[in-house]
Structure 1
């Protein structure tokens, strides 16, 4: 009896194996269509894959997008930093170029002032409350600077030494001049003789020097050059000051007043020249030098 049951189980296993082999062979052979169970199984697996694939794809897309955004953000930070450095370099180069041009112009002007003793200096400070009136330079008495010496740039006169320390000096700008600070000047007419006048102050509203004491019969024109006359005993002769911008009669109708536009920019000064009269030797009647 046991032998019968063993044979029966063996036959069952053999039949199942034969059926499985047949099914496998049937499924792997080339067919134009698949069976309904296979279709059902294939669709079931496809739907399961779709259900799990969409969230995974969405998460992967979000991760990739976030990663790209972070990468773009880092690149943007680097580019902004480089752009700032580039702008800084451009501004620094422009400042250096301007300073170099001013230094060259100042040196050339110093060479041209052969009749005087030029002292080159740099502006180191301008106070905010007196920006339009005075500034500080890095030369003083140890460099030969003295009170009331003329101060100019390569374009023209800008003021005079107000006070001199050992190594630094304060410059009073032309824009801070009043009637107590006078400059004797010549107006170089384009045609005709020179015309004398006195610079007596600065018109804050128009930003021009005031040249008084011009005779009524003198005809001045816009653009006529104005230079120092040297007759006041303080400023040397023939220092460029500015040019005539407007001429009007004074309030009493006795003389004319000219408004002078300075050659130099009084509000943007970096390099200056302090001008001193060169020592002159004058022979007296006995042939001796004084």
Structure 2
């Protein structure tokens, strides 16, 4: 009786699995037949191939590039985007001295309280403060950006697939929509206040091209020429650092742990050989 019940249960389970498989297959086929191709599916592009100093298993941040990226963020991106998870004191990791960090933080106005009236006010930033938002609230942010709230950039390269390459591609990808796109999907042409960018998910975004000309940011002597491409790379590398400032230390710790595990494995194997060397295998008659 138990065997019969077990067989019936197994048969029922098999029927359910087969039914689910064919139901899913039918759904996929029907979706492919009934749903037309979308402009996003056909014209959206994957991020460009671009390399950074921190890429790879042994990669390290280029401090000079990070400083240039901070300058691009400060002079261009900070007008709309915040870095609410980055404190000014964290910039010491980029090679800045304590005095330089104090001077840089004082260039930003952060929320404060008037000690005499108790009312909200602003004050120059200090190293313990975090990068402030350029807007007092989301309503003001949306009103200034065609009803689109500029996202915080602290973790942007971790929040997007191929994050660093995505940011670089987005910054350098603004262009006019192709004639094929306009002809095939006229509704996908950018409307008022929107800008076409094939590296953005739905092809059009409210953010105007932030990098518009070579030399928009003036680098210190000895640095590469501030072309649009170079500035995009530099700020993308900087945002990779804001998202993962402990990258180098994590890799160093990982290699040390891996080396220890390899050594411990070899030691355990040799110990096993030594302990069992005097034990002869049992003979069977």
TM bucket, shorter chain: under 0.3
TM-score normalised over the length of structure 2: 0.23
Higher relative contact order (CA 8 A, sep 6+): 2
- More strand per residue: 1 or 2? 1
Task: Give 1 or 2 for the bigger CA radius of gyration.
Answer: 1
Q: Scaled by the length of structure 1, what TM-score is found?
A: 0.23
